[in-house]
Amino acid sequence: MSPVTTHIVHRFPFAAILLAALAGCIPKAPVLTGTVAPNRLPTGRLPDVHQRVVFDWRVREGLLSASGEGAARIAPPDSARLDLFLAGGFGSSHALLIGDSLYAAGGERIREMLPPPALLWASIGRLAVPPAADTTARMSGDTLRADIGRDPVWRVTFVGDRLARLERIESGRVAEWIGRTADGTVDYEHLQSGRSLRLRVTRTEEVPAFDASIWRR
């Protein structure tokens, strides 16, 4: 190997090359299209009732995957608890989402599996991104898309009053996103790592107020 080749290999180790390749695969965020819309967005608030949402889940990263069942206990305006159970009874964990903070009983593994707070809130229909004056909104039919903030930009999509999608855009590229369908399917993807999570809601019910003990870490 020539000295020049050796110098190049040392400057660009395999890990750096791999990260650069992955970054190159992250799509650019398309320009907003449609007619200019008022900057007033749907509220994106939780319903004023306590809810229990039961769902199936599956997480994938590379060749690895895990699945199971779960339940979310949601208390307006800004509190939720997620309980996750591995298929086959091999374990369980829980996470607390309170305001813009996420506490995970399973440590980093659970935190990495779940979206960050703003995207996790979007999975249950709450818009909880930092407010910003520089909001741009476009309307196309019954679909409203708006860019909130600057680098990162939060791109939110409402279909009617339903929060359907939230994307975090960094340097003009979609870093991660979460989408909600009308039939209760939620998809999350972290583009650089290739990690994805799917939740399929099987039941939603209104319930009495929760005991305070469920919010203890």
pLDDT at 90: 78
Which domains, and CATH codes, for the chain?
41-215 (2.50.20.10)
Q: Which parts of the chain have pLDDT scores under 50?
A: 1-24
pLDDT tens readout for residues 61-78: 988 999 999 999 999 999
Q: Rounded CA gap, 166 and 192, in Å?
A: 17
By the 8 A CB rule, do 216 and 103 touch? no
pLDDT at 39: 65
DSSP string, 115-167: PPHHHHHHTTT-------S-EEEEEETTEEEEEESSSSEEEEEEETTEEEEEE
pLDDT at 19: 41
pLDDT tens readout for residues 89-132: 878 999 999 999 999 987 677 888 899 999 999 999 999 998 88
Return the CA Rg of the chain.
Answer: 20
Query: DSSP code of 213?
Result: G
By the 8 A CB rule, do 117 and 100 touch? yes
Find, among 120, 75, 122, 85, the residue nearest to 101 by Cα. 120
- 96 residue type, one letter: L
